Structure 1
């Protein structure tokens, strides 16, 4: 009997150790955990590719300048997040698709297991793979970008974290999110939220810096037109969402530097009363309480309607926003001020996502906007046309 009890205890100990090891494997996300991060150059297929390459981009793009600012301490990396509709985040060649979507459809359509695994990884129905791919927009990355990548092994999809090199051809959805890597046909999703240490797998390319990698944040509304950089001559192109480039339109009116970082630096914190400029002193707003917080600027960008009678590319004067709600009983203005560059020819309703700005605020009470947020006629391309659902 004692020997039987010893065997049972030993078996229980083995099971406990196995369970502990499984809980602390590659899926752990604690600050002290480690996770592999695959560094994938532009043309490298990577582990377990879904299909052969469908990338068509021949030119090497000029990468956007790396965002400035201090990096994270140690090996704990917190990638910068950038909105998927940011002008210059992506590039391409005018009237040329960076990926052959129809070839990708044929590759997957000829293998039922791969088609099913692709659909599972992408979160779509297997019967809708062709329509899903035709609805994506071919572009190239201009910044090293972290994603959740998927391979195909033993009849099903695998999952691993990757950094894709700037210049990689991808297909993005209507929210600006990379969904397919064209060099291998792999479906892509946003990266996981791992906050611990990373083990880089693969050889870093020249210019790679772990603290300069970005993560794309999908827009909450559908993007109808992407503003991308023509990688052959560093000019600006407007490409319709879901288009292969045949309807690209030049945008010479955009004056943003094409090599400027597409990731805006966060705005500086509001100045304290002791360091405020004289123009923003309480004397300019007699009805405002001195204890009111400094308004924080909020910038929204709205979509340009399809041109009708006006000349394409001709900027128009911004229309003033409608009157804002009444001030709070304390006499304080709203917590935020909204600057909405809307060069539409006809008045339009303000975005429901951001409260309208006070119309009667004195000019010198408006806080200055960050200098690296695009403004002018080029900033009116993206905006809410309709609420959308994730694909």
Structure 2
């Protein structure tokens, strides 16, 4: 009897050891053997520990990109959105706030890897855009005199400032520094906190890969208007005044399901198009843009010089040609939203955010 028990113990030891080795893999996401914690941050919500609250920099009135999830190159045409010839992501207001708060300025600069005296120049070199997909970042709040980094997902429609390599570096509605998310974090095996918005899926969370420095900085970003009816070029480090004319939506940024769903507008949202918004078409009232289709440019307009060399313009046709966006989750729901509310002017930080508008 004792011999049998001894054999059983020896037989079970290798199995137990194997289970101990395999156990962390089921939830390992942050290199520590435990599932990573990711905070969901919704449009219009500055989140806790904001550096410099700046309302009216986000929008609920946005048609998401058709394919999201995986890793996307930052210079992909149509990866980001924006309102042509307009922006409410106020980098000047963020810089002014930080100058008036030296302790926050020191912490903010440290998170961005610069010295406090370079904050103004750093912010002046950024470009305001809108996220067109739920995006994974490291969000840095301010607590106990220093910047505190946490992995977060920013909801599509949120305004961010991107650098010349296309990386999101500032969250507009709170002024928080943004850096790349941890490489080992898996969005599909994470523990999520914060409110889940309609259409959220851990498989549809996008990582943005900055352009490699050896390829040179991006000189112009191809954005898509909130209604996904047209694209336009925005030169790097400009805020809308130098935006190019409307052009077809890049094939890499085509949308699906337009007119199939409407998000609840923010409180006070009137549903009227914002002045200077480039004439975004209300969901369901204009021509739907099916995958692979492109809007017809106006007379005399030409396609943009897309960064990265794709897609290219077909000579003599004015129509864009190009391949499918790499990666992503083809089953992720595309959300079509109503036209954005009539905005007021951006106000100083206050307790109640204004209605969101596009960047």
Q: TM-score range by the shorter chain?
A: 0.5 to 0.7
Partner of 2:233: 238
Preserved CA contact (<8 Å) 1:64 1:259? yes
Q: Cα gap change, 1:340/1:30 in structure 2, threshold over 3 Å: closer, same or farther?
A: closer
Q: Cα gap change, 1:136/1:340 in structure 2, threshold over 3 Å: closer, same or farther?
A: closer
Q: Please give the per-residue CA displacement for 1:84-140, whole angstroms capped at 9, x wherever unaligned.
A: 011111111111114011111111111000001000001111100011011100010
| C-alpha separation in 1, matches of 2:159 and 2:45 | 11
Q: Cα gap change, 1:373/1:82 in structure 2, threshold over 3 Å: closer, same or farther?
A: closer
Q: Which of 120, 124, 129 is residue 114 of structure 2 equivalent to?
A: 124
Tell me how far 1:206 sits from its aligned partner: 0.3
Partner of 1:313: 302
Q: Which of 251, 254, 260 is residue 256 of structure 1 equivalent to?
A: 251
Partner of 1:20: none
Task: Indicate yes or no: 2:105 matched with 1:112.
Answer: no
| C-alpha separation in 1, matches of 2:322 and 2:85 | 33
Partner of 2:179: 189
Tell me how far 1:373 sits from its aligned partner: 5.2
| C-alpha separation in 2, matches of 1:341 and 1:90 | 16
Runs of 4+ with >4 A deviation:
339-343
Q: Cα gap change, 1:258/1:29 in structure 2, threshold over 3 Å: closer, same or farther?
A: closer
| C-alpha separation in 2, matches of 1:112 and 1:206 | 39
Q: Please give the per-residue CA displacement for 1:198-251, whole angstroms capped at 9, x wherever unaligned.
A: 210112100000011011000022000000001146211100000000011124
Task: Indicate yes or no: 2:81 matched with 1:81.
Answer: no
Preserved CA contact (<8 Å) 1:148 1:161? yes
Partner of 1:377: none
Preserved CA contact (<8 Å) 1:63 1:259? no
Preserved CA contact (<8 Å) 2:251 2:322? no
Preserved CA contact (<8 Å) 2:233 2:244? yes
Task: Output aligned runs, 1:10-49, within 5 Å.
Answer: 29-30=30-31, 32-49=33-50
Rg larger in 1 or in 2? 1
Q: TM-score, normalised by structure 1?
A: 0.57
Q: Cα gap change, 1:107/1:54 in structure 2, threshold over 3 Å: closer, same or farther?
A: farther
| C-alpha separation in 2, matches of 1:52 and 1:315 | 35
Preserved CA contact (<8 Å) 1:147 1:162? yes
| Cα RMSD after superposing both structures | 3.0
Task: Indicate yes or no: 2:57 matched with 1:56.
Answer: yes
Structure 2 unmatched ranges of 5 or more:
1-27, 257-299, 316-320, 327-359
| C-alpha separation in 2, matches of 1:257 and 1:36 | 31
Partner of 2:140: 150
Structure 1 unmatched ranges of 5 or more:
1-26, 68-78, 262-310, 317-338, 346-368, 375-391
Preserved CA contact (<8 Å) 1:52 1:183? yes
Task: Output aligned runs, 1:213-362, within 5 Å.
Answer: 213-220=205-212, 221-232=216-227, 234-252=229-247, 256=251, 258-260=253-255, 313=302
Structure number with greater CO (CA < 8 Å, separation at least 6) is 2
Q: TM-score, normalised by structure 2?
A: 0.61
| C-alpha separation in 2, matches of 1:123 and 1:174 | 15
Number of paired residues? Answer: 243
